[in-house]
Amino acid sequence: MSVVITGIGAVTPAGIGIDPLWDSARAGTPLVGAIDRFDASEYACDAAGQAGFDARAELPSRFVKRTDRFTHLSVHAVRQALADAGVTVGDQVTPERTGVMVGNILGGWEFAERELRHLWTDGPRAVSPYQATAWFPAAPQGNICIDQGIKGPARTYVADRASGAYALIGAAESLLRDRADVVIAGGVEAPLSPYGWLCMETSGLGAKSRGSLVPHELYRPFDAGHGGSVFGEGAVFLVMERREHAERRGATILGELAGWGVSTDGYMPYYTVEPTGQVLGRAMRTATERAGITGADLGAVFAHGSGIPFEDVTEGYALHEAFGAAARQLPVTAPKSGFGHLLGAAAPADTALALRAMREGVVPPTVNLDRKAPGIDLDLVAGAARQVSGLEHTLVVSRGLGGVNACLLLRR
């Protein structure tokens, strides 16, 4: 029994849908720019990946009014994913056998901040009655279910930057346990509000603006000038189902989630990671072993690539720990440096890109990788996309604050 992906929906800084995201990643197009959604001039980093999504043009105005932007992004991406898969809930699949799994970190702070200002300036009667239901991380999950009439298993995963990977794993496990026939799984993040951006800054994970670099040059995974992530907003969702279910309804199979592995560093200080990479390496190895392959069978790695020096170096250590000498032969990339680290949506975005990469036999480049950082002993894809023959398996690496590790093994 295997779990396959049959549909993709995306709202990202590249635009609407997987095609513009793939096209920009393949070309190495830089999409990070100066923040224009609020005054970010007093923040350490004033650059981000911004999605040019107009919710009022795509969704009912009453719905937009009572929900946050992260819900808007999610609902639109899910509609796309279902259309791409050719699935209508209540037609090809019953509501009770349809599930939703969402990865998110921050919740809906654009909405919450606005209402907190109302509370501060005008008192509690000025606050929206939708405050409680708009901001919390599970809001997209609930609104997706309402929008699509879904009544099956539904969960929200909050595991820092690995949240989206955990959502995909949760979907696969739900399908394999026969608790659903179709699960819509992915992640979302909308961090572009003054408070949300402050959380990103105080996390210590973000790059700082530097006079020598323009905004789109700040995010530099594995580069000697790496100094942290530049974050972005977006939502990416996948339609997942058991292979036999997908084949029975004649769906186009985009790829298989053939394996996964999780581990936790349990390391202090908790905002760093276990320094040898052994624990992350165990998650990588578990993912490949579950798929019945070895490191020699891997065609590419979509790295977490945070651009945080100790995370970049230990990710390299982990690949060597997991795959030994084969690690030096693996094309490794982190295309997210072109459009921003999408936090809860990062792993689903990498998964969507990896599926397209395997279909086209091309690995997109890591943007802003000019000079390899000391301690990085990997075959990094930089400068331009690379043709890779026989690209049948790709590993997606995701890790979060506190040493949360989740790795996904995709098969073409």
pLDDT at 210: 87
**Tokens coding 39:** 């005054």
Report whether 207 contacts 311 (CB < 8 A): no
What are the distances in angstroms from CA 265 to CA 16, 170, 204, 280? 36, 20, 18, 7
State in Å, rounded, how far the first CA of the chain is from the last one. Answer: 16
Amino acid, single-letter form, for residue 223: D
Q: Note down pLDDT in tens along the chain; length 412 residues.
A: 899 999 999 999 999 999 999 999 999 999 999 999 999 999 999 999 999 999 999 999 999 999 999 999 999 999 999 999 999 999 989 999 999 999 999 999 999 999 999 999 999 999 999 999 999 999 999 999 999 999 999 999 999 999 999 999 999 999 999 999 999 999 999 999 999 999 999 999 999 998 889 999 999 999 999 999 999 999 999 999 999 999 999 999 999 999 999 999 999 998 899 999 999 999 999 999 999 999 999 999 999 999 999 999 999 999 999 999 999 999 999 999 999 999 999 999 999 999 999 999 999 999 999 999 999 999 999 999 999 999 999 999 999 998 999 999 999 9
Report whether 49 contacts 13 (CB < 8 A): yes
Report whether 58 contacts 15 (CB < 8 A): no
The answer, as to whether pTM is greater than 0.75, is yes
**Tokens coding 367:** 């943007």
pLDDT at 401: 92
- Residues 148-200 pLDDT 10s: 999 999 999 999 999 999 999 999 999 999 999 999 999 999 999 999 999 99
Q: Based on C-alpha coordinates, what's the Rg of the chain?
A: 20
Query: 177: Cβ–Cβ under 8 A, 6 or more apart, which residues?
Result: none
What gap in Å lies between CA 61 and CA 130, rounded to an integer?
14
Amino acid, single-letter form, for residue 382: A
